[in-house]
Every structure is written in C-alpha cells, then in structure tokens.
C-alpha cells in the first residue's frame, strides 16, 4: 500500500472524465487500498481515483474518520439511480482544493448503485453526509470540482488562494 500525491486545482487532469472499470481484480483492489492510504494521510473522508491521477471510476470514503474510527468503503462504477427534488446546502471542502470551504447545494437524498471492492453489485439509499460525499466524489469522476458550483468570482478567488499556497510551499 502506498500514499500517493493528491492533485490540486487547477491541474487539468482533474477535469478528465474517468473511464469505467471493466472488472474488479487485484489491481483495482490495490488502487482502492492506495487511495484509502492517501485519503487517511491527508485526513480526508473521500477521494476519487482521478485525484491521484488515475482516470478510473473508483472512489473511496470513510465517514467514520470524522469520529476517529475507520469504516472504509469503496464505490466502483457508481451511478445515481434517483435524486430527490428536495435539496440541501452543505459547506464542502476538497483535498484537491485545500483549505477552501464553500456552501454547495445538492439533492438531499439519492439512491446509488455501485460495485464494492469484491465486485458485488450494491445499492445504497443515502442522505445527510453520505449523500453529499457520494455526490461530491462522483462529480470528480465526471471532471467536476465543487468550486465549479460557485460563482465565477468565488471560483477564481479559491483557485488563486490554492495557487498562492502552492507557491509558498515551494519556497519553504
């Protein structure tokens, strides 16, 4: 298992649309393990494969991480089957847009279908943080960042802040 660097905006690879996984094998399970290690190293609760430069429709999450526990989940080839008309606004952040937190409006509840790390087809009815996080990570698979939901002004301010922080890290 490896901790891999996480791409940050405005890296153009983050805008790529990820390809479906044809079969869940040891290579995909290793990818899932590496993604989890990378996510835990950055103290995140979700990560899409594209965020480590792998354009595959794979994402990992661990919402228990917020309580200091571990309950990792893998979602391979996830897709939303249903989304509620009711929406909710949640302040989101992203490992690829570090230190930026903004309100994003999304459907409050979804039903999603996915393959787990063993290749078993599953369905989940999600609300609350699970719904928000799944939608956020699934956006990554389509080349969409949460800042893409912001006004042009807020998005450009966020990107400038990320680039400034990156320049400061390079100097120190």
Backbone φ and ψ for 149, nearest 5 degrees, come out as: -85, -10
Catalytic residue among 27, 92, 137, 169: 137
- DSSP code of 28? H
67 catalytic residue (yes or no): no
**Location of structure tokens 């490896």:** 2
DSSP characters over 29-87? HHHHHHHHHHHHHTT-SEEEGGGGT--BSEEEE-GGGGGT----EEEEEEEEEEE-S-E
Contacts of 161 (CB under 8 A, 6+ apart): 99, 100
| Angstrom distance (rounded) from CA 158 to CA 38 | 23
- The three-state secondary structure class of 4 is coil
Active-site amino acid positions: 137
């Amino acid at each position: 298992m490896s901790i891999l660097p996480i791409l940050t905006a405005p890296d153009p690879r983050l805008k790529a649309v990820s390809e479906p996984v044809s079969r869940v094998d040891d290579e995909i399970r290793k990818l899932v393990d590496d993604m989890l290690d990378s996510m835990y190293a950055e103290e995140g609760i979700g990560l899409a494969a594209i965020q480590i430069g792998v354009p595959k429709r794979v994402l990992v999450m661990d919402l228990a991480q917020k309580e200091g526990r571990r309950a990792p989940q893998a979602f391979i080839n996830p897709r939303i089957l249903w989304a509620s008309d009711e929406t909710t606004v949640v302040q989101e952040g992203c490992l690829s847009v570090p230190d930026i937190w903004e309100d994003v409006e999304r459907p409050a509840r979804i039903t999603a279908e996915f393959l787990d790390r063993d290749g078993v087809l599953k369905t989940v009815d999600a609300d609350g943080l699970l719904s928000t996080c799944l939608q956020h990570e699934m956006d990554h698979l389509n080349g969409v960042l949460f800042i893409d939901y912001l006004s042009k002004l807020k998005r450009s301010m966020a990107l400038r802040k990320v680039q400034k922080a990156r320049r400061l890290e390079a100097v120190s």
